[in-house]
Amino acid sequence: MRPVSAASLTPSVSWCSRASAGAARRAGWTSAAIRRLVEDWQGSYEDYKVDVEEIRHLGNGVTLAVSLQTGRPAGSTGEVQIRFASIQVCEDGLIAWMKNYNEVDETRAAAERLAAERG
């Protein structure tokens, strides 16, 4: 999977990460700010890769993706894996809104509800 690039986002995309219950929520970030965040995150790992396990287009601009990030923190010999799911809402071919979750089944249900609501 090609990483999200600034070119694939609306100028003021809304992004929310629910990686953990206490995770900070972000909304209304610019595409450049998200790109910097992603670059910083990925840059803190060696041998970083993302394997996409599932992509589903649910209709009405809603997409669900399930991915596995794997990497070795810089200076470490251990490997870290993070499996997460993401919902994206596209407008005019660009991502306008996205939200990440740790629980894949919770995400799938939320994405299906969102697609139905937008229909």
pLDDT at 11: 75
pTM of the entire structure? Answer: 0.76
**Pure H helices in 2-68:** 31-43
pLDDT at 20: 38
Residue 88 CA to its chain's centroid (Å): 8
Q: Which residue has the tokens 């894996």?
A: 81
Average pLDDT of 66-87? 93
Q: For residue range 3-35, list pLDDT tens digits in order.
A: 455 567 777 777 776 543 334 445 556 777 777
Q: Is 52 exposed, middle or buried (0-12, 13-18, 19+ CB in 10 A)?
A: exposed
Distances (CA, A) of 39 to 3, 6, 86, 112: 10, 11, 18, 30
- For the chain, the average pLDDT equals 82
